[in-house]
Amino acid sequence: MEIILRADVQHLGKIGEVVKVKDGYARNYLLPNGLAYPATEANKKKIAYEGERLVKQQAAEKSAAETEATRLADVKLTFEVKVGEEEKLYGSVTASDIQRKLEELGIKVDKRKIDLAEPIRELGEYKVGIKIHPEVRPEVLVTVVKE
């Protein structure tokens, strides 16, 4: 069965592509979940219109993300933490802590968008990425110092 994708589907294709899939996959998964349309002429015109609208929307989101990234590129966060023997931190600096500091500066970022693989447990300077947009990832300088 030929279908037109309404959304990016992993291992299948991107928005607006006409792809051929097995009938059951289309009927039981793609069509009910709104991920695809049957490939008719009317639907091809409809998807072309949606595609143009989506391209404009994505361009606007990217430009907004780039302006936010320039704001975030200059941000430097400093955390004063208690340390014990051998310069070991009591606790750690987490994505939630970074989010709170950013909110104090008036920058709203979801803590799940902060790209911190594991909490910071040592003194020093770290560059922490923030996932604003799939193509835009600014880095914030985080400094952890002794209290």
Tens-place pLDDT, residues 90-143: 888 999 999 999 999 888 888 899 998 899 988 999 999 998 888 888 999 999
C-alpha angle with apex 58: 67 to 103, nearest 5 degrees?
Answer: 40
Task: Report the CATH number of the 69-146 domain.
Answer: 3.10.430.100
Residue 107 has a pLDDT of 87
Question: pLDDT digit string (tens) for 41-65?
Answer: 888 888 778 778 888 888 898 898 8
Q: pTM for the whole thing?
A: 0.66
Banded pLDDT at 86 (limits 50, 70, 90): confident
Q: CATH top-level class for 2-63?
A: alpha beta
On whether the CB atoms of residues 95 and 111 are closer than 8 A, the answer is yes
C-alpha angle with apex 119: 117 to 125, nearest 5 degrees?
Answer: 95
Residue 23 has a pLDDT of 94
Domain ranges of the chain: 2-63, 69-146
